Structures are given as structure tokens and as C-alpha cells.
Amino acid sequence: MKVSHTKHLNCGDQTKRKGCSSTPRGERSWMAAVAIITISVASACATLPSEQMTPTQIMEPKTHTSTMTTTPKPNMPATYTAVAAETLDAMLTLDTTTKPQVTSTPYTIPKGFQLSVPVYFHSYNQRAVWRLDPQAVALERVSPSDWQVTAFDVSSTDGRTAYGTWDGKLILALAGMEPTTILDLREETEFPLFIRSLAWSPEGNQLAYAVHLQPSSAESGLEEEKMSGIWVWDLEEKTKTHLLRNEYFPEDGDINKLVAFSHPVWSPDGTGMIVTGHYWEWINTLWLDPIKPDLDRSNLKNPLEYTWGDATWTLDGRSILVSGLQYASTCDLYRVDRETLVVETLIDGKEEGIFIFLAQELPEGIAFVSYDEDFEPRLYIGKQSGNGLVYEPAGPDDPLCTSVAVNSVVWDKAGRYALVSCHRDRRLLSLDGSLDIDLDLYLGLLVNEDNLDLYWGFDLYD
């Protein structure tokens, strides 16, 4: 199952909305501007002023009547920057050149629980990938030491793994076979480009990837810009198509037009794609529908006001769930019709005094994260009931994290189990609350990583 797609923003203490940042800042150098927008998509932080973020009511099961509107109401301004969700399917590869790191404490597996897939950990700081065996007997590094891994994904159709590297390579691997480099940007240009994110298409015959400039390339020119952005590689035709181009050097010098696209998420039918735009002081989720070359970005869609951190496809692919409003103390949950762009308000965050983010449709309903009366992150599940959406707490009884910053919640394909990644706090839990495993017990030296992403592996028994 494609899950929520994390967009990390190096937000600092910014407090302005997009609409408040239209004046170019001439005193800021181009080098600093390009470096910041490049670094921002590779780091994660959130400004979380608890004195401004206390919810106004306790989260109790309730019904909210959905309404149809094309002009959603703006939310209350505040200095909260939502940490959003990242969608990558998984990692699956074997590296026989490295020895596994055996941990001293095994999983405490509840009776009757079976996990047929491995769990993968990607450290952006170390640019490497580790694999945790389903029986938790070993933590094994699976990326060779000479690969600086900056992105990866695994095909849900056959388990092929795609790696993106700091030196601009796309590498495919399958367990038991030699890895194959299908793209090397250094053979096409001397510009310092790297692969920021990857996503296999639902059919496994195409690979979307985001190309970014390295921070050291801040004084480069328009030729590099032309090679950056979102691309699609066709494995059958062995051709690539440029969908969206980043803009590092606006012609009119307006620093607020800087944008770098990343984290493509295919629609279930493979004809649409959600992307994340990283701007000078904000991020926003947009979608390209249908998928086609659109370098001027005229067909990018999002009918909502302001900027949003989370957007995910519904299970049938007919709509998009939008949550994670940037710079706000409350946040709604919207469902946008893919064809008509009509917006349906599922939960009015301002009316109910809650902030909703990381929303994802599961077979059991719509799961999302919000905060309880003590400003602690909790998991909730909402279900349609007549014309309303009934939601209530789900998962374990305790908060998702020891801190308020929830980086991602990655659901398995059946929508029963989730990998939760917080700031130095990782766990595996079930939607019904029967399972709760502290993954930090098995991470060894990785336990202190503050930029660690979690992914489900390929299900060998699927």
C-alpha cells in the first residue's frame, strides 16, 4: 500500500504564510537561497510552540457532517509547521559483503502475531540502509559502503529495489542478483546533481525520481536547472521523460519563486502523481494529473488555499486526502475529487479545535494523527457514518512519541500495522492496539539517529 508521503522542511522560526512572502529579499545572496532550498528537502524540523498549540477540547468520538465546497475556510494563523508524511514502499536487497550487526534483545512477539516482511531503516546522515529481519535476530547493513544512498524504493510487483545516490546514480537490485546501474548523471553532465527520492509505478514498469542540485552547486547556472526536477524512467522502453523542472534561478530575481520538487507518489492507476514543492519558506503538495511533460507547471493542481504538507490518494484513486496545513494551530481534513476538484470538508479543524496531519485511507477507515489535551501525538481512525465522519482514538493507549514531532506513519498494505518514526523514537504498532514494539531496542548505533526513515520490505508471501 502506498502510504503517506513525508515532506521535510527546514523551517527554523518562520511564521509567514505563502501569501505573506511575495516581496523579494535582495539582501539574501543567490548562493544562500539555493543552498537553503536544497538542504531543506534533506532535513526535518518543526517549530512547535506549545503555549500556542494547546487544543481547546478533549478528543472524544464524535460525528462531523461533511460539506461540499470549493472555497475552504482559512485556518487560524500561528507558528506551527506541520511535519508531514513520506511515502516510499520499502527496501529489499541483500549485501553479502557486509556482516550483520546482531542485537542483544529479540522482539517480544505477541502470541499469534506473524510478520512476513522485513523492516528497513534509511539513514540520510550516513547515506546507508539497514534491514531488520522479521524474527529480529539481526540488524544488517544492506547497502555497500561505496554507495551514498539518498533515496530508495522497492517494487511491490516483484521486489526489485531502486537506489538513488549522492553522485547521481540510479541502481536496480534484486535479491540474489548483481545490482545494475540504469542511469548515471555524471555521464551526462559534470554538474553536481543527486537523486533525492524515488517511486515505483503500480505496475512496476516505470520509476519516478527527483533530481536535485547539491548545496555546493549554488553558483551554477540554468543548464543544471534544466536537468533537475521530476523524471520518469521507462524500464521497458529504456527511455526517460522530464515531467517537472526545479527553479533555482528565477529570471525576475524573485527569491520566493524558488522551488524544488521531490517525493513523487503515483496514483493507484498509474496515471496521476502527487509531488511536494519545496519553496523558500514553505512546502506545498500538488498533483500532476494526467502525468505528462509539463515543465511550465501549468497543469499542477491543488484547489485549496494556503500550503499543505500532506496529500495521499484514496484507495480507489478517485480522490486525494489533504491535511497538514502549514503555519497553523488547527487543521482541517479535506477530500478533493480528482476529476472535478470539488473539495469536501471531512473534519473542520477550527470548529473542533484539532490539528490533523498524516491522513491516510485504510480499509478500516481514514487514519490520521492529532494531539490530545496534553498536546501529545495520538493516532485516530475515522469512519463514514451516513453523512458524517466518526473518529476515535486507535492504536496503543500511550502517545505515539516521547516528543511532539511525528515524522511519518507508514502503513503496511493491509492497513493493520504501522511503522512510526519520530525524533529519535521508532516503533511498530497495530491499528487495534494489540501490538506495540519499540524498534529502538534493535538499532544499535542507529538509535541516536535523528534523521532515520522507516519502510516496510517486500512481502515474499504476498
pLDDT along the chain (462 residues), means of 10: 37 28 32 44 36 34 45 30 23 30 39 67 89 74 92 84 94 86 92 93 96 75 82 94 89 84 96 94 92 82 93 97 93 95 94 94 97 92 85 93 86 92 90 90 85 79 50
Among the listed residues 83, 82, 84, 86, the one whose alpha carbon sits nearest the alpha carbon of residue 3: 86
Query: Which DSSP string do the residues of 45-90 spell out, in sequence order?
Result: -----GGG---SS----EEEE-EEESSPPPPPB-S-----------
pLDDT of residue 120: 85
> Per the structure block, which three cell numbers stand in for 363?
480499509
Among the listed residues 88, 155, 37, the one whose alpha carbon sits nearest the alpha carbon of residue 455: 88
What's the rounded Cα separation, in Å, for the pair 371 and 31?
38
pLDDT of residue 56: 32
User: What are φ and ψ of residue 219, in 5° steps?
Assistant: -105, 20
Domain residue limits, the chain: 18-456
pLDDT of residue 217: 62
Among the listed residues 246, 238, 297, the one whose alpha carbon sits nearest the alpha carbon of residue 273: 297
CA–centroid distance for 111 within its chain:
32
What is the SS3 assignment for 340?
coil
pLDDT of residue 221: 65
Among the listed residues 225, 230, 254, the one whose alpha carbon sits nearest the alpha carbon of residue 242: 230
pLDDT of residue 461: 52
* Residues contacting 170, CB < 8 A, separation 6+: 162, 163, 164, 181, 182, 183, 184, 195, 198, 207, 209, 233
pLDDT of residue 179: 92
Longest dimension (CA), the chain: 64
Partners of 334 in the beta sheet? 322, 345
What ranges in 320-408 are assigned the alpha helix state H? 349-352
* Residues contacting 158, CB < 8 A, separation 6+: 174, 204
> Per the structure block, which three cell numbers stand in for 288?
500532476
What's the rounded Cα separation, in Å, for the pair 331 and 315?
22
CATH topology of domain 18-456: Methylamine Dehydrogenase; Chain H (2.130.10)
pLDDT of residue 83: 23
